[in-house]
Structure 1
Amino acid sequence: MLLKPTILIKTDMLIKQAVRIKQTAILLLLFLFSLFGVAKAATQVVNVKSELAAPVMLVNSEDKNYLKISLIGFNLDSTRRSPINLALVIDRSTSMSGERIEKAREAAILAVNMLNPTDTLSVVAYDNHAEVIIPATKVTNKPALIASIQQHIHPRGMTALFAGVSMGIGQVDKHLNREQVNRIILISDGQANTGPTSISELSDLARMAAKKGIAITTIGLGQDYNEDLMTAIAGYSDGNHTFVANSADLENAFTKEFQDVMSVVAQDIVVQIKTGDKVKPVRLLGRDGDILGNTVNVKLNQLYSNQEKYILLEMIPEKGTDKQQKDLADVSISYLNLSSKKQDQINERITISYSQSVEKVNDAVQEEVLAESEIQKTALANDEAIKLIDAGRKDEAKKVLESNASKLDSMSFSSPVAEKKVRESTNKQRKLADDIDSKDAATYRKELKEQNYNVKQQQK
């Protein structure tokens, strides 16, 4: 019987051991990669942060408190964005003659060039009536789409805004899909003057769009459009609103809008807050919603990458005793995650504590929530200033704006974020107060309305 030399036996053993080590290393790497992949996937959810302005309250206090629920969109790789289903609804009435219609055509062509073959585009133009210039179609033949825009968008007639928006909704509805971004961009420079024209009728149309998951962004051109109407359409459908004083700036407004449209990470967002029986929800600050007894419901159409939207609820908690902790509210958030294409659900319970110590109460204050609540209150005061301006009481309106600035200026925070927000808001209020006497009345009102809309909707 022949025996292997000792050196060969050792070599075989070393080779086998090396193979086992290599296999173990590969398995370990695969395991680590799988963990990394899971972790990476886990981060692709909306970041929810629920905070009370005063998480600790004085014993037997009946002071108001503020619950802020922040939704922050996750980072989105632009190459992996969701398909877009877009309708451009363009005013081509006589008032759009000259540079305005030229810039509107250029903006529409810009939209064509920014879209991909996976996206869907339709174009509606309206004058005395609404007309589908480009039926909803995939953006695969850009030269043909551009030629159609250049051929058919020319000024004439009146402003059938309701018909234009209604037809735009119909075009988006043809390819409606929850897993894509459904959006209308409405451009107008004038008053709706044929067909249904009231704010309530257009608001109902916007609500219908919102129920379908369609957001309507409104862009007002010049000094003659109805800003109350345009902000209502945007607000009820959870779209953006932009005032473009100079038609040369329309391209910039379109570019900014497309940055939002191309970065949507979540849709069909529903936030529900159920407070305790002895907790009184008072009102929502900024964003609208429904308060039915102890249940508060707020809907948001879309959330953008790395942007914050929030719900701010003013409430009166029930009284408590020293060192006691109580459940204040249950919060549930549901939304369609456009990254995973799944419905996500997040639930949180909010508690509140009580103390006899004023120092403990003050130390616990969340300054950023307190700052946001004061900024939203100035927006409500600005609404009153607009009413005073409309009533011809400009001096009283100016006093409201100056009072807003003084109140914000008197606040001081140790939090750099809260301090920055309040200082920025103070400066804006001061500028509004200064400009009321010097600016053209129509331009001033539109700027004030736009700024207020941005504050309430957290539009960047």
Structure 2
Amino acid sequence: MKLIKTVLLAGLSILSLCSHAQVNKQIEIRSELASPIVMQNSQEKNYLKISLTGHEFDSAKRVPINLAIVIDRSGSMQGDRIVKAKEAAIFAINMLNENDTLSVVAYDNDARVIIPSTKVNNKQKLISLIKENIVAGGGTALFAGLSKGIHQVEKQLSKDNVNRIILLSDGQANIGPTSVQELSELAIIAAKKNISVSTFGIGEDYNELLMSSIASYSDGNHIFVNDSLDLENVFVREFKDVMSTVAQHVKINIYLKDGVKPVRLLGRDGIIKGNQVTVTMNQIYSNQEKYILLEVEQPQGKVGEEKTIAEIDLVYDDLLDKKTQKEKQSVKLAYTDNLEAVKKALRQDVVTEIEIQEVNENSVKALELYNKGDRKAAQKILVDNSKRLEAVADMYPEYADRVKDDMKWNKKMAADAVNESGNGKVYSKEMTEKQQNTRMGVIKK
């Protein structure tokens, strides 16, 4: 009888954690604990996962795009790079329609607006402006270029548009503000205006930390383009995201109850102030999940007791219905003296994501060691990462596919770490791109 009661309690607790958005909303929200049932008086850490998944929608009904393309035309972009950058910009024009807004900024020793913010209703004229005005030569005033890109998007800024900047660079910022901190602060300004910045680093010589930081702080994508011939394919992937945006300006507030202490966020950054945690996301895409993971110290409890440990407040702009949506959810924790009930209630999908994020943090340490010249130590971390993910796949076969690619990637990077003939610049950029993408907590459906 006691076991039946415990199992029933487990079922009720899990149902109370797995909340869903209403059918008429564009995103589904789930708030759940890795361990929704714990042993009585347990003081172990727990993990809260909040995920937002965009529903499928008719792409013909997509919302207007307000896009600025910011192109590096410094001397190092001469040759194929500037040619392919122009071709990619022209591709973007052809992907847009008369409801969309486009601006193009080019930067070298300074920044110049090639196409002021305008509706895309005369494509041939816009294409001619790009062909005639983007010629490589000069320095890299990246800060000025991004600043003007933000200003152009601001001209048509609307919560009913997808506000986006695509920033291309193949070198080091060397004119005007150049530090990671200064450029990151500019990205934060963009994010506060509900503008995402996706950064495309071309070749081996750009500053990957700077470019990935800009993308991270504004909730954009960061992509390493080793060969400029791949630029158009990169634009295709970017436009798939942009054109499938269903919600933006997302703000998640987590209010932890007395006795619950926030420890850290895994992956995405946020603000932890006392018992309140705030995380923002700029855009949510159709058929894609974005999540946050919060490690907490849980309160003790008695057998049969159930406690609300967190209240979730979510606000976002629904782009398809053109209104602000709000949702509240509660997260509960139940207590038992039955270890089997605890194991049965464990959320294997949440544990899998925890492992992915912790392995990613380890890979950051591996890259630091690699860049300091301690390649064997870097290799060991990456080998251990691969073994750890392999153990997850064995333990939770239902989620083996989720870790399969990461497992292979860690094995490859472990081997490359000690390859004396390998390209260190490429290695660092591949690692940084992967770390950034994993940190953002994205699962494509």
Q: TM-score range by the shorter chain?
A: over 0.9
**Equivalent residue for 2:110?**
129
Structure 2: 5+ residue runs without aligned partners? 1-21
**Equivalent residue for 1:38?**
none
Does residue 165 in structure 1 map to residue 146 in structure 2?
yes
Match of 1:420 among 398, 401, 409: 401
**Equivalent residue for 1:35?**
none
In structure 2, relative to structure 1, the CA distance for the partners of 1:86 and 1:391 (3 Å cut) is: same
Instruction: Please give the per-residue CA displacement for 1:282-316, whole angstroms capped at 9, x wherever unaligned.
Output: 11101110111111100000000111000111111
Equivalent residues of 1:124, 1:134 under 8 A apart? yes
State the percentage of identical aligned residues: 50
CA distance in 2, matches of 1:131, 1:285: 39
**Equivalent residue for 2:316?**
335
Larger Rg: 1
**1:222 shift after superposition:** 0.5
**Equivalent residue for 1:152?**
133
Equivalent residues of 1:44, 1:339 under 8 A apart? no
**1:436 shift after superposition:** 1.6
**Equivalent residue for 1:181?**
162
- Greater shift, 196-205 or 387-396, is seen at 387-396
Does residue 357 in structure 1 map to residue 347 in structure 2?
no
Counterpart of 1:223, as a letter, is: E
**Equivalent residue for 1:401?**
382
**1:390 shift after superposition:** 2.1
Does residue 451 in structure 1 map to residue 406 in structure 2?
no
Equivalent residues of 1:220, 1:230 under 8 A apart? yes
Does residue 251 in structure 1 map to residue 215 in structure 2?
no
Instruction: Please give the per-residue CA displacement for 1:380-400, whole angstroms capped at 9, x wherever unaligned.
Output: 111111211222212111111
CA distance in 1, matches of 2:393, 2:127: 54
**Equivalent residue for 2:249?**
268
TM-score by length of 2: 0.92
CA distance in 2, matches of 1:44, 1:50: 17
CA distance in 1, matches of 2:339, 2:200: 49
| SS of equivalent residue, structure 2 residue 392 | coil
| SS of equivalent residue, structure 1 residue 76 | coil
Does residue 295 in structure 1 map to residue 276 in structure 2?
yes
Match of 1:347 among 318, 328, 331: 328
**1:414 shift after superposition:** 6.3
- Greater shift, 377-386 or 202-211, is seen at 377-386
Structure 1: 5+ residue runs without aligned partners? 1-40
Instruction: Please give the per-residue CA displacement for 1:105-124, whole angstroms capped at 9, x wherever unaligned.
Output: 00000000000001100000
**Equivalent residue for 1:46?**
27
| SS of equivalent residue, structure 1 residue 186 | strand
CA distance in 1, matches of 2:408, 2:395: 19
**Equivalent residue for 1:442?**
425
**1:187 shift after superposition:** 0.4
Counterpart of 1:350, as a letter, is: V
Match of 1:390 among 361, 371, 377: 371
Match of 1:100 among 70, 77, 81: 81
Counterpart of 1:451, as a letter, is: K
CA distance in 1, matches of 2:332, 2:379: 41
CA distance in 2, matches of 1:46, 1:416: 28
CA distance in 1, matches of 2:203, 2:43: 48
Counterpart of 1:193, as a letter, is: N
- Greater shift, 59-68 or 256-265, is seen at 59-68
**Equivalent residue for 1:367?**
348
Equivalent residues of 1:367, 1:413 under 8 A apart? no
**1:437 shift after superposition:** 2.5
**1:59 shift after superposition:** 1.3
**1:44 shift after superposition:** 3.6
| SS of equivalent residue, structure 1 residue 411 | helix
**Equivalent residue for 2:8?**
none
Counterpart of 2:104, as a letter, is: V
**Equivalent residue for 2:90?**
109
**1:416 shift after superposition:** 4.6
CA distance in 1, matches of 2:235, 2:441: 18
CA distance in 2, matches of 1:42, 1:327: 25
Match of 1:75 among 45, 56, 59: 56
**1:205 shift after superposition:** 0.2
Counterpart of 1:309, as a letter, is: K
Quick one: higher RCO (CA 8 Å, sep 6+), 1 or 2?
Answer: 2
| SS of equivalent residue, structure 1 residue 336 | strand
RMSD value over aligned CA atoms?
1.2
Instruction: Please give the per-residue CA displacement for 1:323-364, whole angstroms capped at 9, x wherever unaligned.
Output: 211111011111000011111111111100111111111111
In structure 2, relative to structure 1, the CA distance for the partners of 1:244 and 1:412 (3 Å cut) is: closer
| SS of equivalent residue, structure 2 residue 93 | helix
Equivalent residues of 1:274, 1:329 under 8 A apart? yes
TM-score by length of 1: 0.89
Counterpart of 2:220, as a letter, is: G
**Equivalent residue for 1:202?**
183
CA distance in 1, matches of 2:406, 2:23: 36
- Greater shift, 259-268 or 410-419, is seen at 410-419
Instruction: Please give the per-residue CA displacement for 1:71-114, whole angstroms capped at 9, x wherever unaligned.
Output: 00011211111111100000000000100000000000000000
Instruction: Please give the per-residue CA displacement for 1:121-150, whole angstroms capped at 9, x wherever unaligned.
Output: 000000000000000000011000000000
| SS of equivalent residue, structure 1 residue 410 | helix
Counterpart of 1:69, as a letter, is: I
- Greater shift, 377-386 or 138-147, is seen at 377-386
**1:425 shift after superposition:** 2.1
